[in-house]
Chains A and B, each alone.
Chain A
Amino acid sequence: MPVNVLIVDDSKLARIVAGKALAALQPDWTKVEAGGGAQALDVVDQTPVDLALIDYNMNEMDGLELAGELRTRFPDMPIAIITANIQDEIVVRARAIGAAFVAKPVTSDGLEGFLSGAALRLRAARS
């Protein structure tokens, strides 16, 4: 099942770390990266994306705003907000827009729950 993952973070290091954790869990999935919210919206205009991993703490548009925008365009897309800012308030806001919450630094263990849930949802949607 081909799956294309959008990784959005203004830090290249963070994109490398998230990409590594993703590759360890789902070696066959492909990824496309964006360094910010505006670029991410350009990417989804041009490329089909199945799920999104989005950093919270970004300039211009924060991760929750971007997730809200993606949620409007893609009501069923699995989305995870990734951040070290683990304040209860951020977790609640992520849940309110139907996004999962993954703590930074991203590890395979931390990402596993979200990815397996997303894989099930994508498979169900495609069958």
Chain B
Amino acid sequence: MTGGVALGDLERDALTEIVNIGVSRAASNLRKMIGDHVILSVPSIDVVSQRRAARLITEREAADLIAVRQDFTGPFSGRALLIFPEANSLQLVRAVTQGELSPEEVIEIEHEALAETGNVILNSCLATMANLLKSSLAMTIPEVLRGSGAMLFEVDETSPSDGLVLFLYIDFAVRRLDIRGYIAMIMDLPALEMLRALLDDFIARVVGDDA
């Protein structure tokens, strides 16, 4: 951990809680889309280097990955990713189209269906977080990426290499359909400072004078 950017205990609790609510909303939407129970892990939150963030995913997933990526900007900015093993992709598309399409159509619609699924999941998560923090975020149109963990967390060429990021991830699984993956979020450090201020406001609102 780096002292200057570390969150305090209460701030970390507040962020975990906000992420939990956001991701639960996202999971409930995924459930509506596929008609099956979605299991979530407790969010894991760390300040790490961008490379370390990539390794955290790569170490757990040797196989090629697919990710839907949405960048968000506002009082805090960063990138949200819905990540799963590439082998799960068509299974997920079949699940969200709920038997409406032929196998050929499933393949044809794969890319677009993944983008839309990511859109619903990531948007609902980010929007819920924005509402709880009483701020507003602009989000890009979802983009589907394929590749290794290192590629998904590619450092922006124009930014100083391997900067520290707030890295946050949650496992999700749909057991019956053998689908699993992660929701990950990375935020850069100026964004983190702003996030800390918003978390402090949030804590003051929910805790009131007892803080």
Q: Is the A/B pair a real complex?
A: yes
Which A positions have Cβ atoms within 8 angstroms of B?
10-14, 16-17, 20, 57-59, 83-90, 103-105, 107
| A89 with B136: CB separation less than 8 A | yes
Chain A nearest Cβ from B133, distance in angstroms: 11
Residues of B within 8 A of A89 (CB): 136
Q: Contact at B112–A11, with CB atoms within 8 Å?
A: yes
CB of B119 within 8 A of CB of A57, answer: yes
**Chain B contacts for A11, CB-based, 8 A:** 112-113, 115-116, 119
Interface residues of B in 121-153 (CB under 8 A from A): 121, 123-124, 126-128, 130-131, 136-137, 139, 141
The distance from the CB of A10 to the nearest CB of chain B, in whole angstroms, is: 8
**A85 / chain B contacts, CB cutoff of 8 Å:** 123-124, 126-127, 139
- B41 an interface residue at 8 Å Cβ cutoff? no
Query: In the complex, what residues of B have CB within 8 A of residue A16's CB?
Result: 97, 100
- Nearest B residue to A86 via CB reads B127
Q: Could you tell me which B residues sit within 8 Å of A by CB distance?
A: 29, 32-33, 96-97, 100, 109, 112-113, 115-117, 119-121, 123-124, 126-128, 130-131, 136-137, 139, 141
Chain A residue at minimal CB-CB distance from B113:
A13
Interchain residue pairs with CB less than 8 A apart (29): A11-B112, A11-B115, A11-B119, A13-B96, A13-B97, A13-B109, A13-B112, A13-B113, A13-B117, A14-B116, A57-B119, A57-B123, A83-B123, A84-B29, A84-B119, A84-B121, A84-B127, A85-B123, A85-B126, A86-B123, A87-B127, A87-B131, A87-B136, A88-B131, A88-B136, A89-B136, A90-B127, A104-B29, A104-B119
Q: Are B137 and A87 in contact (CB under 8 A)?
A: yes
6 further interface pairs, Cβ-Cβ under 8 Å (given A13-B112, A85-B126, A87-B130): A11-B113, A13-B113, A57-B123, A57-B139, A58-B141, A86-B124
Q: How far is the CA of A84 from the CA of B32 in the complex (A)?
A: 12
Q: How far is the CA of A107 from the CA of B120 in the complex (A)?
A: 13
Determine if B131 and A84 form an interchain contact, defined as CB atoms under 8 angstroms apart: no
Q: Which residues of A contact B130 (CB under 8 A)?
A: 87
- Among B136, B137, B141, point to the contact of A57 (Cβ < 8 A): B141
Q: Does A13 contact B131, Cβ atoms closer than 8 Å?
A: no
Chain B residues with CB below 8 A from A107, complex form? 32
Task: Give Cα A43–Cα B127 distance, bound, in whole angstroms.
Answer: 31
B32 contacts across to A, CB distance below 8 A: 105, 107
Which B residue's beta carbon lies closest to that of A17? B33
Instruction: For B140, give the chain A residue with the smallest CB separation.
Output: A57
Which of B29, B120, B121 has the most A CB atoms < 10 Å from its CB?
A: B120
